[in-house]
Amino acid sequence: MKWPILLLPLLVLVFAEDELPLAELCDEEQCKLPECRCSSTDIPGGLPARDTPQFVLLTFDDGVNTVNMPTYRSILYGRRNSNNCPIGVTYFVNHEYTDYTLTNELYNMGFEIALHSISHQTPQDYWRDATYDDMMREFGDQIIQMSHFGSIPRDTIKGIRIPFLQLAGNETYRMMADANLLYDCTWPTISHTDPGLWPYTLHYASIQDCQIPPCPTASVPGPWILPMIAWFDLNNTPCSMVDACFFIPDRENEEEWFKFIVGNFERHYLGNRAPFGFYVHEWFIRAYPAVQRALVRFMDLVNSLNDAYMVNAHEVIEWVQNPVPVNEYARRACRHTVPSPCRQTSCGPVRAEHTENLYYMQVCSACPNVYPWLGNPLGN
């Protein structure tokens, strides 16, 4: 009978090696802005909804290249919010088939360049099972890669979205804390949509529903969660990416699409004003011109409202850290991006070491020796 008692501490030690202790329930007294926020649908700063800016986050995933740039240039450039400040848009960019000179152009236009991994590899289980080291090679190293090839200032790279929205438990967030990344926009919620879940930190246990496990369970001070609040399609089925909604209006019907978008927007705007996400891939709005026109009409609507703002994703986190009423927010100085020069260089053919493929790259730096990849993000 003595053995089990002796064995118990040993077992705890074995578990402790890969299983971090569970985070505690959030303590509102201990967890204070700007560093800490409990997961909650409460509006930051205790503001009433009518005084809260309705942030609108338009994000595009995957490679930036000559295929998708015409859309970005034609519908986003020169667009302004009602306070005459340029709008924000966030790009979650993965490395393969990205033209870094065009990524640099998007940055110089004032948009946010965020990370979507170096490899974006399949199968999805790779991401589910990713270790701390895997995540550091996919995202930590991508900061170095993006700043080098795209001439994007390192300290402006703040956010990530994991491919396939596949969370990897605590490891992602431990990596983010160490790599000094501010926020993750990967985690969908379908339970906290009305009222919507505002961004929060992982100092304490999260109340968020875990749709694509494993979700983080440990206390990881530092990074913020920017929840992907689901849309609801015409059949009330939740969807995290607009192009993944199933029961949608006819893709040729602009009017129905406009109503569909506005209907989802109003759940936020007429509710607790949690940030509204329009999360999409460019191919979807390129393939369906009526959808694109509906998006443009929606942006025109948002840009005419004096309490709704299209912003870069990291600006939402910064507002949550230091919430101010919308009338004060509207009067603030606009974001100012100092253009980062790009010495455009065409490279190739560049041989990949992980496959036998040859690649052509457009970069703002000297050409790499081999195709940059995991473990060799600069292609030395």
- Residue 62 or 171: the one with the smaller Cβ distance to Zn ion is 62
Q: How far is the CB of 24 from Zn ion (least distance, A)?
A: 34
Q: How far is the CB of 163 from Zn ion (least distance, A)?
A: 5
Number of helices followed by number of strands (H, E) in the chain: 12, 15
Taking alpha carbons only, the member of 316, 286, 354, 356 closest to residue 95 is 354
Other CB atoms within 10 A of residue 316 CB? 26
- Residue 61 or 99: the one with the smaller Cβ distance to Zn ion is 61
Site string for Zn ion, 46-85 (x = CB under 5 A): ---------------xx-----------------------
Q: How far is the CB of 40 from Zn ion (least distance, A)?
A: 29
Taking alpha carbons only, the member of 260, 255, 235 closest to residue 246 is 235
- Residue 160 or 202: the one with the smaller Cβ distance to Zn ion is 160
Q: Burial, 65: exposed, middle or buried (Cβ in 10 Å; 0-12, 13-18, 19+)?
A: middle
Q: How far is the CB of 175 from Zn ion (least distance, A)?
A: 18
Task: Judge contact between 262 and 298, C-beta under 8 A.
Answer: yes
Q: Which residues within the stretch 231-250 sit at the binding site for Zn ion (CB under 5 A)?
A: none
238: helix, coil or strand?
strand
Rounded CA gap, 108 and 115, in Å? 17
Q: How far is the CB of 167 from Zn ion (least distance, A)?
A: 14
- Site size for Zn ion (CB under 5 A): 3
- Virtual CA dihedral for 191, 201, 20, 207, nearest 10 degrees? -20
Q: How far is the CB of 97 from Zn ion (least distance, A)?
A: 12
The 8-class DSSP code of residue 128 comes to H
Our finding on whether 282 is near Zn ion (CB under 5 A) is: no
Taking alpha carbons only, the member of 31, 28, 109, 51 closest to residue 319 is 51
- Residue 96 or 256: the one with the smaller Cβ distance to Zn ion is 96
Q: How far is the CB of 164 from Zn ion (least distance, A)?
A: 7
- Residue 51 or 243: the one with the smaller Cβ distance to Zn ion is 243
- Residue 110 or 159: the one with the smaller Cβ distance to Zn ion is 159
Q: Which residues within the stretch 322-361 sit at the binding site for Zn ion (CB under 5 A)?
A: none
- Residue 59 or 151: the one with the smaller Cβ distance to Zn ion is 59
- Residue 92 or 319: the one with the smaller Cβ distance to Zn ion is 92
Q: How far is the CB of 281 from Zn ion (least distance, A)?
A: 7
User: ∠ CA(328), CA(330), CA(333), 5° rounding?
Assistant: 95
Q: How far is the CB of 120 from Zn ion (least distance, A)?
A: 6
Q: How far is the CB of 26 from Zn ion (least distance, A)?
A: 31
The 8-class DSSP code of residue 136 comes to I
Rounded CA gap, 82 and 303, in Å? 5
Rounded CA gap, 236 and 277, in Å? 17
What's the chain's Rg over C-alpha atoms?
Answer: 21
Rounded CA gap, 87 and 184, in Å? 21
- Residue 161 or 192: the one with the smaller Cβ distance to Zn ion is 161
The first and second tokens of residue 347, run together, are 């490279």
Q: In the complex, which residue's CB is closest to Zn ion?
A: 61
Task: Judge contact between 313 and 57, C-beta under 8 A.
Answer: yes
Site string for Zn ion, 154-173 (x = CB under 5 A): ---------x----------
- Residue 171 or 282: the one with the smaller Cβ distance to Zn ion is 282
The first and second tokens of residue 130, run together, are 């990713």
Taking alpha carbons only, the member of 288, 291, 284 closest to residue 257 is 291
What residues line the site for Zn ion (CB under 5 A)? 61-62, 163
